Amino acid sequence: MKNLGNGVSYIGMDDLTLDLFEGQYILPEGVSYNSYLIDDEKIAVLDTVDARCGDAWFEEISAVLGDRTPDFLVVHHLEPDHSGMIAEFIRRYPSARIVAGAKALQMLPQFLPEDIVLSGDSLCSVAEGDVLDLGSHKLKFISAPMVHWPEVMMSYDLSDGVFYSADAFGKFGALGKCGFYGSEDEEWTCEARRYYFNIVGKYGVQVQALLKKASTLDIKAIRPLHGPLLGCRFDGCDGAEDSLGKYLELYDCWSAYRPETEGIFIAVASIHGGTLAAAEKFAEILRAKGAGRVVVSDLSRSDIAENVEDAFRHSKMVLACASYDGGIFSPMSDFLHRLGAKGYRSRKVALLENGSWAPCAARVMKDKLALMKDVEIVGKPVTVRSRLKSSDIPALEELADAIINA
C-alpha cells in the first residue's frame, strides 16, 4: 500500500511469477496490476486485480479501511487481469455498488461465477460525462471504446486532475522492479512501446479519439492499470522531471502510426544462417553508406513482440527471409501475420530473399505487405542463392541506396 495523498492509496499488486502476460508476452521484470482506493465521504475502490494476487489485495484494502467497507467498486476494464476479484469483492462487500459503463455491465456476468447474482440496486451504470461524487473527489467518466476492449471507461478526477487511464499508458514491469513513478523508470519507453503496439496497436484511431478528449482536460497525473504512475506526485516531487508531455507525445506518435525513430529495422528469418549472414552484410553496407541507425534482429531468436515493436518504431524496414516449402520461413510468416493484425502501415520496406532451388520468399512477402495500408516496397528485391557471393554485392549496394533514399 502506498499513500498517494488527497485520501488516495495505491493498492495494486506486483506479479513477479507470471510466465506470460495475456498468454504470450514475456515479462522479464514481471507486471503490476494497479488498483486504487479513494477514501472520501464515500469510499471507492478503482478496479480489482488478477486472481493470482487476490488475497494480498484484500489485505491492502483492509490496511487502509480497517473494518470500514467500500461504497463503490469502479470497473474501468473487464479483462481478467483487472476483474479477477470482482466476484470475491461482491461476496465480501455485498452493500457496495458496482460502477461501470453499460457495455461493461452487460458483459460483467460472463466474468463472474454463476452463483453471483447481480441485482439492479447493486449496479450503477455510467456514461460519458457522468460524475461519481465521492465528496471532495469527483470522478468524471470518459468512454474509450476499443482502447483496447469495447467496454473500456476511463475517469478523470475533477478535484485533483488525476486521469485513471485503464490500460492506456500502461507498461510491463512490476513497480518493485522498474520504479513506482515514470521518472524512476529507465525502461518506460521501451516496455510501454512493446505493450502498446502488441496490445493496443490495432486501435490507433480509437487512441487518437481518446487523446483528443484528453487534450480538453487539465491532467496533472496519469494512473494506468499497469506500470508506473505518471506525472505529478501528490506525495511530493518536483513535477518538472516527470512532466506528462513525453508520455502524451509518444502516445500521439504511436497511435498516428508515425515512426518514432529514424532508422532501418532489418528482420531476418534464416534456417541455416545464410540469410542472416547476408542480412548482416547488408547492414554493414548500409552503415558504410551513412544510413544512420541500423538494427538487425534474428526473428528465430528474439522476442517476437519486441520485433513487432521495432517494426512500428522505425521509419524503414528490411525483410530478409529464406524460402521455405514454396513460401516463407515460419518466423517471418508469424512476424508478418502479427504486423498485419496490429495494423502496421505507412512505412518503406526493402526485401532480401534466399532460396536453393526456387526462391519464392520475396514474392510471398510482397503479397503479404500488399494487404497492409501504405506500405511501399522500395528497390529491387535481392535474391541470394544459398550463400551470399561477391557477385551479389552490387545488387545489395543498389538496394541499400534505394532504402536510404526512400
Q: Which residues bind to Fe ion, rule: CB under 5 A? A: 79, 81, 167
CB of 284 to ligand FMN, least distance (A): 17
Helix (H) or strand (E) holding 289: none
Number of chain positions touching ligand FMN (CB under 6 A): 20
167 binds, among Fe ion, ligand FMN, none (CB under 5 to 8 A by kind): Fe ion
The one-letter amino acid code at 100 reads A
5 binds, among ligand FMN, Fe ion, none (CB under 5 to 8 A by kind): none
CB of 275 to ligand FMN, least distance (A): 3
CA-nearest of 284, 158, 164 to 230 is 164
- What SS3 state is found at 57? helix
| CA 185-190-191 angle, 5° bins | 75
Contact between 389 and ligand FMN by CB under 6 A: the answer reads no
Contact between 100 and ligand FMN by CB under 6 A: the answer reads no
- For residue 272, whether the previous peptide bond is cis, meaning omega lies within 30 degrees of 0, is no
Helix (H) or strand (E) holding 361: helix 361-370
Q: Find all residues with CB under 8 Å of 43, minimum gap 6, and list them.
A: 37, 65, 68, 69, 70, 71, 72, 134
The stretch near ligand FMN (CB under 6 A) out of 97-105, 252-260, 297-305, 358-366 is 358-366
CB of 82 to Fe ion, least distance (A): 6
**Pick from 159, 346, 383, 386: which binds ligand FMN (CB under 6 A)?**
386
Contact between 381 and ligand FMN by CB under 6 A: the answer reads no
81 binds, among Fe ion, ligand FMN, none (CB under 5 to 8 A by kind): Fe ion
CA-nearest of 264, 266, 265, 279 to 387 is 279
CB of 340 to Fe ion, least distance (A): 21
Minimum CB distance to ligand FMN smaller for 82 or for 368: 368
**Pick from 17, 245, 325, 390: which binds ligand FMN (CB under 6 A)?**
325
**Residue 12 near residue 20, CB atoms below 8 Å:** no
CB of 367 to ligand FMN, least distance (A): 15
Within 51-70, the residues that bind ligand FMN by CB under 6 A are none
Residue showing cell 506500470: 227
| CA 136-140-145 angle, 5° bins | 155
CA end-to-end distance (rounded Å), the chain: 52
**Pick from 201, 231, 259, 274: which binds ligand FMN (CB under 6 A)?**
274
**Residue 166 near residue 219, CB atoms below 8 Å:** no
Contact between 356 and ligand FMN by CB under 6 A: the answer reads yes
Contact between 354 and ligand FMN by CB under 6 A: the answer reads yes
The one-letter amino acid code at 196 reads Y
User: Binding residues for ligand FMN, per CB under 6 A?
Assistant: 270-276, 322-326, 354-360, 386
